[in-house]
Chain A
């Protein structure tokens, strides 16, 4: 018996007449890795923005763990356990790697409005932060200023920061984009390790990554769902093949 953790109904977003996401009804099962694929401009990132309420849908509803979260503040969605990453690596460049992760751990204190307390109040999170950095393959980099790190390490750091919130569901927007081959493998291994007890929805262009990782695949073109199923089914679908051959990428 499988549970649904995230479910959308008729999710639609228009940008001044242009329909970027068109009536998407998506169901993600608890504990799976679900891929959202599709050519450039298909509306994948827009979908992520809608799911995390960074954008409000023109129409449609979003349910997370049975609760309607449509129109909720994005910060509140994150607190409920649905945490996203970004397509463009989202780190805090002028902070150290440790501070990056700690900023997520610090959320556990509740609202940190205590401007009168010294920063040392946050040292209790240092061990956990270092542990997380270790987990994503960045040991000994705690004091490194993030702006100086290579791209692959920034992405790993971003995952460590997201993991620090221990979210039930993670949305990863192209976690391996722009990475060298070796780095891609590191991230794939990392995702395999962190999937325990979590649900992951990821956008990914690299189909061999999708094949190796994902249980279910949803193909999006021009804002609509074109096909859905496991890799074997989807990759044989003639419409999917046509859509992918029609675009330069993939």
Chain B
């Protein structure tokens, strides 16, 4: 099913069970944050893990998706489903524009260009009237889904977020295990060789980038809806860095790594928040520890230990 191997299917069912059970045990708003970040990280992982391109500007798509969803909810009073979709479209269109400029570069140059372009998006958001500058867009109503499901209840909202996450997760898994995904893996493994077989690799990379940024926009839009706010934080380069760290921590190029990474990162932010700046310091230490001691990330190391591809 969906190209899951047997161990992956078991892991997926376990994750599904947790998604269903957890809201009855843990604060749902916390879980929704985890799921939004997890979708963001999975989308990011599509680029770094399966195309081999490190984007250092993914916050631009996350934040802009958030702004557009928030704005269309607040000003146009759209249906929540449409507003989230518009967040995704925003991510995709922005991804096409920035990707077009960046995709011909590889390695560190790609990372630098995405970072620079994302900084421009940040300044745009800082200055543009509709984003509310430093204040952001606040008091965004959660509204209704399909016109009749009231989302103000946390449990109902949680159900929507869980569906968005699962939809995105399965889509990414399908992308990776499609004829298209096969070419992406070829590019990751050996780009000149893929070119020499007659593939225009730039086109493939750009489409993968757009898919990634669309899903990132959806994640950002969903998050804005959950918290009723869209701010500069989500477009900031520190968010781009955080998602790199999240994915690295969970395991680059693994299916479940980004999800695991998000669970750990969001928990850490949540429980260390009382210590203020120590969150950043702790993240820094973990990052160094990751790079030095377990490069495969949590899921990557577990998979390696069990000799499984997770």
Residues of A within 8 A of B (CB): 52, 54, 73-76, 78-79, 83-86, 90-95, 99, 102-104, 106-107, 109, 111-119, 121-122, 161, 165
B182 at the interface (CB under 8 A from A): yes
Contact pick for A54, options B186, B192, B211, CB 8 Å? B192
Q: With a CB–CB cut-off of 8 A, which chain B residues contact A86?
A: 192-193, 196
Q: With a CB–CB cut-off of 8 A, which chain A residues contact B174?
A: 115-116, 118
CB distance A91 to B193 under 8 Å?
yes
A95 to chain B, nearest CB (A): 6
B274 at the interface (CB under 8 A from A): no
CB distance A119 to B193 under 8 Å?
no
CB distance A103 to B201 under 8 Å?
no
Q: With a CB–CB cut-off of 8 A, which chain B residues contact A92?
A: 185-186, 189-190, 193
CB distance A161 to B178 under 8 Å?
no
Q: With a CB–CB cut-off of 8 A, which chain B residues contact A111?
A: 200, 203
Residues of B203-255 whose CB lies within 8 A of A: 203-204, 207, 211
Residues of B164-195 whose CB lies within 8 A of A: 174-175, 177-183, 185-186, 189-190, 192-195
A17 to chain B, nearest CB (A): 24
Total contacting residues, chain B, CB less than 8 A: 29
Q: With a CB–CB cut-off of 8 A, which chain B residues contact A83?
A: 196-198
CB distance B178 to A84 under 8 Å?
no
CB distance A115 to B180 under 8 Å?
yes
* Extra 6 A-B pairs, beta carbons < 8 Å, given A95-B185, A95-B186, A99-B182: A54-B195, A94-B185, A109-B179, A116-B175, A118-B3, A122-B179
Residues of B within 8 A of A (CB): 2-3, 174-175, 177-183, 185-186, 189-190, 192-201, 203-204, 207, 211
Q: Which 9 A-B pairs have the closest CB atoms?
A: A78-B198, A92-B189, A90-B193, A115-B180, A112-B179, A115-B175, A79-B198, A75-B200, A119-B177
A85 to chain B, nearest CB (A): 8
CB distance B179 to A78 under 8 Å?
no
CB distance B180 to A112 under 8 Å?
yes
Residue of A nearest to B186 (CB): A103
Q: With a CB–CB cut-off of 8 A, which chain B residues contact A54?
A: 192, 195-196
Contact pick for A121, options B179, B195, B204, CB 8 Å? B179
CB distance A93 to B189 under 8 Å?
yes
The verdict on A95 contacting B189 (CB below 8 Å), with A78-B198, A106-B183 known, is: yes
Could you list 12 A-B pairs, sorted by A, with CB under 8 Å?
A54-B196, A83-B197, A99-B182, A103-B182, A106-B179, A107-B198, A111-B203, A112-B183, A115-B181, A118-B3, A119-B181, A122-B179
Bound together, the chains give a CA A93 to CA B186 distance in angstroms of 9
B26 to chain A, nearest CB (A): 34
